[in-house]
Structure 1
Amino acid sequence: MQQAGPEGARRQWLIAATGAVGGVGLLATAWPFVDSMELSARALAVGGPVVVDVSDLAPGQLRTVPWRGKPVWVMRRTPEMVRALQQPNPGLADPLSKASEQPPACANATRSERPDLFVAVGVCTHLGCTPVLRLDDPAINAELHAPGGFLCPCHGSRFDLAGRVVKNVPAPTNLEIPEYRFLSDTSVQIG
């Protein structure tokens, strides 16, 4: 039943205006909720690649950078460290890294694209603790036949300077090597 005349037109206009204002109010109320569902710039950056400048990394120095919520190590090895890694070591559980996670280009004795630069996820493969670099520990040096290694403080797992695990320790596999590439001689992109 439609009303004729100016009263009916006015009523229709009021109904349309009220509906429009209500719709705008609903959108204004819903917008913050919808907007909060988008990933923040920080969340987007967590999964993205990380570029590391290695120009100022001294031989024997280790730098830790965050990537995907994990610590990633970038270490410049000395020539002595590289020579030691290339020697056979019967004390390693997986010396050829057959059961390890690493890019194909890192399937070698140094587990790296360039022998002098080592990139690895700094998380023990046993229970997820962060191993520490020990360059001055005589026991580790003797066991690994190298000038240093990584020691997991939680349960005593030991890794050489290529992240290869020693036999008879809790860690089941070598440290993970993430995907990475060299953008130049002085910068590495992880991820």
Structure 2
Amino acid sequence: MSTEGVDMKRRRMLIGATSAISAVGVGFVAVPFIKSMQPSAKAQAAGAPVEVDISKLEPGQMLTVEWRGKPVWVVYRTEENLKDLPAMDGGLRDPNSEVKSQQPEYAANPARSIKGKEKYAVLVGICTHLGCSPTHVPLGAPNSPTEDWKGGFFCPCHGSRFDLAGRVAQGVPAPTNLVVPPHAYLSDTRLIIGVDQGAA
């Protein structure tokens, strides 16, 4: 085949330009396809772990964050609150956290917390009866649900009561303790909800 009269530089330039345009076209097609295989931002947010700054939380205070569309409470319990927990065992349905599905193994203790972090309670703020959100009623509050109230949570929907470890009282509609979500401490002032202690 004769190449006489063919401008080889121009041919190479046209082949290069065509290749470049083809590569860009493949990119435009591939990017949406690859992105479609990744979870949406909504799906990521629904299950993604949540970091919480607890540095400003003071004894007796509660902080609410959202994880997987549910309210999660972080309660800074006072020394008095912690001392009161064992005295309440006799009036509780599951004082020893025997229903395993309600907390990770590392929180199956009287304080229902990670060892060494007992002052903090981390609880899903949804009543285990019909899904209402109980109210935090601290020790000494004027609207205490019982005379011997030591602080905890009261569900206004049907009257279920929980102590400051999320343990359910006897004789109320809620069948089980409040759920303790998987969590870990990144530092003394940062908590991550949605990641188990051993994985952090």
Contact 2:126 2:134 in 1 (8 A): yes
| Structure 1 counterpart of 2:111 | 110
Which residue among 173, 176, 191 is the counterpart of 1:173? 176
Which residue among 126, 130, 134 is the counterpart of 2:129? 126
Which portions of structure 1, spanning 4 or more consecutive aligned residues, are displaced by more than 6 angstroms? 31-37
Q: Give the C-alpha shift of residue 133 in structure 1.
A: 0.4
Residues 7-33 of structure 1, C-alpha deviations (whole Å, 9 max, x = no match): xxxxxxxxxxxxxxxxx9xx98xx989
Identity of aligned residues (%): 52
| Structure 2 counterpart of 1:64 | 64
Q: Which amino acid aligns with 1:75?
A: V
How high is the TM-score relative to the length of structure 1?
0.76
Q: Which amino acid aligns with 1:111?
A: R
SS at match of 2:121: strand
Which structure 1 segments of 5+ residues have no match? 1-23
In 2: Cα distance, 1:63 partner to 1:88 partner: 24
Matching of residue 95 in structure 1 with residue 95 in structure 2:
yes
| Structure 1 counterpart of 2:76 | 76
Matching of residue 162 in structure 1 with residue 165 in structure 2:
yes
| Structure 2 counterpart of 1:21 | none
Which structure 2 segments of 5+ residues have no match? 1-24, 195-200
The two structures, once aligned, show a CA RMSD in angstroms of 2.2
In 1: Cα distance, 2:34 partner to 2:106 partner: 44
SS at match of 1:120: strand
Corresponding pairs, count: 162
Contact 1:91 1:143 in 2 (8 A): no
Q: Give the C-alpha shift of residue 40 in structure 1.
A: 2.8
Q: Give the C-alpha shift of residue 35 in structure 1.
A: 6.8
In 1: Cα distance, 2:98 partner to 2:136 partner: 24
SS at match of 1:87: helix
Residues 77-134 of structure 1, C-alpha deviations (whole Å, 9 max, x = no match): 1110011113353111111110151111111111011110010100000000000001
In 2: Cα distance, 1:173 partner to 1:124 partner: 9
Residues 43-75 of structure 1, C-alpha deviations (whole Å, 9 max, x = no match): 312211000010100111111100001100011
How high is the TM-score relative to the length of structure 2?
0.73
Contact 2:47 2:67 in 1 (8 A): yes
